[in-house]
């Protein structure tokens, strides 16, 4: 294989991630020509409703997967947190790159952190996970929907539509907006989306040549942590309809996983954490999910 075509969404962040993967592939495979195939997805086009209302995060993948099936692209690059817990049949993730900053970012032009917000302040986020944790901390806040790419969301904040917004640190840092981060919302008090901060490459399961090319970019430590977080979410039947958060850390042979399920309506949350073996991440994900269910997480999931 001398040319590799990467299907990608057209947002600035998606293009940055795909160019980053392309650069890594060129460096790893001298002589390989890597080109981008930018595409628009339904998740990008419908911005007047939440992801949960229009079908979930899988909307960001569907058109890219169809392009691979039609032979118009060899692989696709995604934020792993946007990849459904169960891939469509016939697809694989040959590489999960080293994770960037996992944390969420509190972004505001006037306030330093969540505690500094005045009563009834307007905070923008369409993520049910972020809404649940915000309500748990500050039930007085007005939580307002916020869709669009990173630049659009920052523009709405700067236009005065919100007093603060919550975004992923990794996305802001990748686009050069590090200075917009007023405070990091981090573990153990605040948990991210499963696999937040990690970029994954998807290709057809039967495309051995592409799988082998991409596999050299795989980061084993990030994959272990992502597999634990995603296994927990999968066991809970989590989706963008359910406020689920998870964060795993690998320390030698030991793997630690913290999980949370909450209610975006009233801010009630249940938490669990456990330690397991680094070579059995799915077992740890299952264990933490069962601990959450034992504490009543099923009620929040059923209500979603």
Residue 39 CA, distance from chain mean position:
19
Tokens 């040549």 label which residue? 209
Q: Of the listed 74, 82, 104, 163, which one is catalytic? A: 82
Neighbours of 40 (CB within 10 A): 11
Between CA 134 and CA 248 the distance in angstroms is 21
293 CB burial (10 A radius; 0-12, 13-18, 19+): middle
Contact between 153 and 124 (Cβ < 8 Å): yes
Name the token pair of 269: 């949350």
Contacts of 262 (CB under 8 A, 6+ apart): 129, 132, 133, 135, 136, 243, 245, 268, 269, 270, 300
User: What DSSP character marks residue 163?
Assistant: S
Q: Residue 101 catalytic?
A: no
Give which of 200, 194, 173, 217 is closest to 25, Cα–Cα. Answer: 217
Between CA 293 and CA 273 the distance in angstroms is 12
Tokens 């077992």 label which residue? 283
User: From the DSSP assignment, how many helices (H) and strands (E) are in the chain?
Assistant: 11, 13
Radius of gyration from C-alpha coordinates of the chain: 19
Residues tagged active-site: 82
């Amino acid at each position: 294989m001398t040319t590799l075509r990467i299907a990608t969404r057209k947002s600035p962040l998606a293009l940055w991630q795909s160019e980053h993967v392309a650069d890594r592939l060129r460096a790893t495979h001298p002589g390989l020509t890597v080109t981008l195939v930018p595409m628009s997805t339904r998740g990008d086009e419908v911005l007047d409703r939440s992801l949960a209302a229009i079908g979930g995060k899988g909307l960001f993948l569907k058109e890219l997967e169809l392009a691979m099936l039609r032979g118009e692209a060899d692989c696709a690059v995604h934020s792993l947190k946007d990849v459904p817990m169960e891939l469509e049949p016939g697809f694989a993730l040959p590489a999960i790159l080293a994770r960037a900053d996992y944390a969420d970012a509190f972004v505001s032009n006037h306030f330093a952190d969540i505690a500094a917000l005045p009563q009834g302040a307007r905070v923008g986020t369409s993520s049910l996970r972020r809404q649940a944790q915000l309500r748990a901390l500050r039930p007085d806040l007005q939580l307002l929907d916020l869709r669009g790419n990173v630049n659009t969301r920052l523009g709405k904040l700067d236009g005065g539509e919100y007093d603060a917004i919550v975004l992923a640190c990794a996305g802001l840092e990748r686009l050069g907006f590090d200075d917009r981060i007023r405070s990091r919302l981090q573990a153990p008090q605040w948990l991210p989306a499963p696999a937040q901060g990690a970029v994954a490459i998807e290709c057809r399961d039967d495309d051995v040549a592409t799988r082998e090319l991409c596999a050299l970019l795989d980061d084993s430590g990030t994959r272990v942590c992502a597999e634990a977080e995603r296994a927990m979410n999968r066991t809970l039947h989590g989706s963008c309809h359910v406020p689920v958060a998870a964060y795993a850390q690998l320390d030698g042979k030991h793997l630690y996983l913290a999980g949370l399920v909450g209610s975006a309506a009233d801010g009630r949350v249940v938490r669990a954490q456990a330690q397991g073996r680094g070579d059995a991440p799915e077992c740890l994900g299952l264990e933490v999910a069962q601990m959450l269910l034992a504490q009543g997480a099923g009620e929040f999931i059923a209500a979603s």
